[in-house]
Amino acid sequence: MKTVFGVIGSVLAFLLVVFAFVWIVQGNDFFMYKFFGPKYEKARRQIFEETKSYRQGMIQEIRHAKMEYEGTDDIKKKESVASFILHSTADFPEEDMPSDIRGFMSTLRNNKKY
């Protein structure tokens, strides 16, 4: 009877050691991600914002919003579109914008009432 309890105890101890080892490895992986994850994502975002497709897409979006802004007489809609444009381009480098867009952005910033 002692040997049966000894074997069962040994198996349970072995399983406990295995579970503890797995928990330590997984926990380490979590803590490594917790530390390096934000840095990795920040680098990915920075690389994405430097791509040609991102910059062209942003300029295209600004042009579309500019046409919408200029095509309406509704003051509320103009304010809304202007707010959207200024908010979405806040971190976009102005030197990457074409001159017509730069002038439009300057006008929006100077006329900002909201």
In the numeric block, which tokens belong to residue 4? 């049966």
Distance CA 92, CA 74 (A): 27
Return the DSSP state at 39: H
Phi–psi pair at 111, nearest 5 degrees: -95, 10
Where in the chain are the domains?
Answer: 52-110
Q: Please tell me which residue, 27 or 12, carries the higher pLDDT value.
A: 12
Q: How far is CA 101 from the centre of its chain?
A: 25
85-105: pLDDT as tens digits:
999 888 888 888 999 999 998
> Could you tell me the pTM of the whole model?
0.62
Residues 19-38: what's their mean pLDDT?
81
Give the CA diameter of the chain. 92
